[in-house]
Amino acid sequence: MSNICIYDLIACAFWDVYDDIKAARHAEYWFKGGRGSTKSSFISIAIIRGLLANPDANALIYRRVGNTVKDSVFSQMLWAIDRLELTPWFKCKVSPFEIIYKPTDQRIMFRGADDPMKSKSIKLQHGYFEYLWFEELAEFQGMDAVRTIKQSALRGVDRAYTFYSYNPPKSAQNWVNAEALKVRSDRLVHHSTYLDVP
C-alpha cells in the first residue's frame, strides 16, 4: 500500500483545506479557479484518501452531460490513483463508468445530470456515499437541480462531503457566483489561481 505523503502531491494552497476536510469542519467545499489551478487534482486525491480512511465510504461524481465523464472526471480519478501509486488495488468499468477499490469493493461512480433516471437507479452493495463531487458546476442548470441530486444521493447519510468545482462565470449575477456568496456555517469557499503541480 502507498505511503506517499499527500502534502507532497497537492499544491500548498490546498493544505489547509485538506486539514479542514480531515477534521470534518464543513460539509460543503466550493473550489473556484481557472485552468491550471489544480482544484480538480486536489479533489481527486482527497476523495481517494478519504475512501481509504473509511471502508464504508463511496463516491459519486457528476458532470452536467454524461458523455463528458470519460475524458474529464473519470480520467482525473485514474490520475489520482496513479499518483498515489495505488493502481494495482483498483479496477475500472466503463459501462457505466465506475472505479472499484478491490480490497473492500468500495465504488467511485460517475453520472451525467442529463439523465435523471440513471441517477435515481444508483444502488450500492454496501456502505454509503460519503463524497459527492459536481465538476464544472457552472454548466449545471441551477442550484435546485444540484440539490435534487444531492438529496437523492445522500439520503439517510449522517456525514458526507460535497465538492463543487468551477471556473467563476464572468457575470456576477450567474447563479454559481450568487450561491457561493451565501454565508453558511457548513460551507467553505476556496479560490485558487494558477498553481504549479507538485
Residues with catalytic roles: 136
Give dist(CA 82, CA 95) in Å, integer.
Answer: 21
Handedness of CA 171, 176, 178, 181 (dihedral sign): negative
135: which DSSP letter? Answer: E
φ, ψ of residue 166 to 5 degrees: the values are -165, 155
Pure H helices in 54-125: 75-83, 116-120
Angle between helices 39-53 and 15-22 (to 10 degrees): 30
Give dist(CA 47, CA 31) in Å, integer.
Answer: 14
Q: Of 73, 147, 152, which is closest to residue 117 (Cα–Cα)?
A: 152
Give SS3 for 22.
helix
Q: Rounded to an integer, what is the distance from CA 68 to the centroid of its chain? A: 15
Q: Cell digits for 51? A: 475512501
